Amino acid sequence: MAEILTASEADIVRAGTLLREGDLVAVPTETVYGLAANAFCEASVRRIFSAKGRPFIDPLIVHVHSLAQAETLADISHPFVKKLAEAFLPGPLTLILPKKECVPAIVTAGEPTVAVRMPAHPLMRRVLLSAGVPLAAPSANPFGYVSPTTAQHVQDSLGERISWILDGGACACGVESTIVLVADKPRLLRPGVITREDLERVLGVPVEAEKGHLEKIADGEKSSDSAQLAPGMLKKHYSPRVPVRLFENGALPEIPEKAAIVFQTRPRGELARRYAGHAQVFWLSENGAQEEVARSVFALLRRLDNAAFSSIFIEKSPEKGIGVAVNDRLSRAAAK
């Protein structure tokens, strides 16, 4: 079991020292919990990959406290960086930027770019200051499993493999940061609670969605030494052990015995009666607010995965705004 650190000044200093000196610490962010290491220490970063069972072809996000610290790692001179930073940072947005020499190749999987993120979570910001070094951190889950949104989730799935977890409460966003490739024609590589429309409003140009790094490898659009990969490993992500099936927003699927059914909104009236008695019914929000759906989706997936259901049927979000990010995670959870 990992030791739990708290928000006390002593524990923050301890977390910062552990990190600076090369240990791994799981840390809270506003999106999901991350498994952090000193980004400049190759040996420590290597331990992140082994704790998660993550293939080295999947690059990490580097967390910084300020734009000044970002500039030590990456070229931040593109005018879009300033616009995005003014509108959204610190916050749940990751920028893909040209990397500087000092960033070890293991962090970026040998790419010439680095993913940079300035998180808003107050504890994470204190840890970054205390550590005094940028922190490489992927989500703190075994590779391919559901991302953690509480310290207990991290304990449940990585507690035997790491020594320290900083408890910052439940994550406010609940899905990982939006990833944008900064360029004259910017690209959305992963949707999040900062939406494509938000990005387009601030940048004043279209932001096309593009496949993420691993999907390009899976689809043969990017070469890589994929000897470490099992078939299907790259597309299946955020996946519970129990099979997940999706149904369209507003549909009323037939579901088998011993399955769980998950609605976007707490079912009422006729809908509540229809499934009562032959299924266990769950919901992601009281009233369909997509912020709430995003915040609760991973926690509910984990909870249902640990109950004795034969399968989990989940209603998709409306395909707009934050719902795009939720549907992205749901379709990966359901991928075979």
Look at strands 113-117 and 93-98 and give their pairing.
Answer: antiparallel
Distance of closest approach, residue 139 Cβ to Mg ion, in angstroms: 3
Spell out, one character per residue from 8 to 47, where the chain touches ligand TXA: x when CB under 6 A holds, - when not.
---------------------x-xx-x-------------
Distance of closest approach, residue 144 Cβ to Mg ion, in angstroms: 9
Residue 94 binding ligand TXA, by CB under 6 A: yes
Between CA 238 and CA 132 the distance in angstroms is 31
Q: Which of 147/264 has CB closer to ligand TXA? A: 147
Q: Which of 75/279 has CB closer to ligand TXA? A: 75
Residue 326 binding ligand TXA, by CB under 6 A: no
Closest listed residue to residue 161, CA positions, set 38, 243, 55, 52: 52
Distance of closest approach, residue 168 Cβ to Mg ion, in angstroms: 18
Backbone angles phi, psi at 47, to 5 degrees: -65, -30
Tokens at 37, concatenated: 């290491």
Question: Binds 108, which of Mg ion, ligand TXA, none (CB < 5 to 8 A, cut-off by type)?
Answer: ligand TXA
Q: Look up tokens 């953690």; give the residue.
A: 148
Question: Binds 58, which of Mg ion, ligand TXA, none (CB < 5 to 8 A, cut-off by type)?
Answer: ligand TXA
Between CA 332 and CA 238 the distance in angstroms is 6
Distance of closest approach, residue 99 Cβ to ligand TXA, in angstroms: 7
Tokens at 305, concatenated: 């995965």
Q: Which of 138/240 has CB closer to ligand TXA? A: 138
What's the angle, vertex CA 155, arms to CA 65 and CA 284, rounded to 5? 85
Question: Binds 162, which of ligand TXA, Mg ion, none (CB < 5 to 8 A, cut-off by type)?
Answer: none
Query: How many chain residues bind ligand TXA (CB under 6 A)?
Result: 26
Distance of closest approach, residue 85 Cβ to Mg ion, in angstroms: 23
Residue of the chain from 113, 130, 139, 239 that contacts Mg ion (CB under 5 A):
139
Burial of 276 from C-beta contacts in 10 A (0-12 / 13-18 / 19+)? exposed
**Please, are residues 19 and 25 in contact by the beta-carbon 8 Å criterion?**
yes
Residue 96 binding ligand TXA, by CB under 6 A: yes
Q: Which residues contact 129 (CB under 8 A, 6 or more apart)?
A: 16, 65
**Side-by-side strand order, sheet with 25-27:** 3-5, 164-166, 25-27, 34-38, 135-136, 61-63, 113-117, 93-98, 178-181, 187-190, 208-209
Residue 157 binding Mg ion, by CB under 5 A: no
Residue 322 binding ligand TXA, by CB under 6 A: no
Residue of the chain from 113, 149, 150, 157 that contacts ligand TXA (CB under 6 A):
113
Q: Which of 159/174 has CB closer to ligand TXA? A: 174
Look at strands 61-63 and 135-136 and give their pairing.
Answer: antiparallel
What's the angle, vertex CA 291, arms to CA 156 and CA 334, rounded to 5? 55
Query: How many chain residues bind Mg ion (CB under 5 A)?
Result: 1
Where along the sequence are the contacts to ligand TXA (CB under 6 A)? 29, 31-32, 34, 58-61, 94, 96, 108, 111, 113-115, 117, 137-139, 176-177, 179, 189, 212-214
Where along the sequence are the contacts to Mg ion (CB under 5 A)? 139
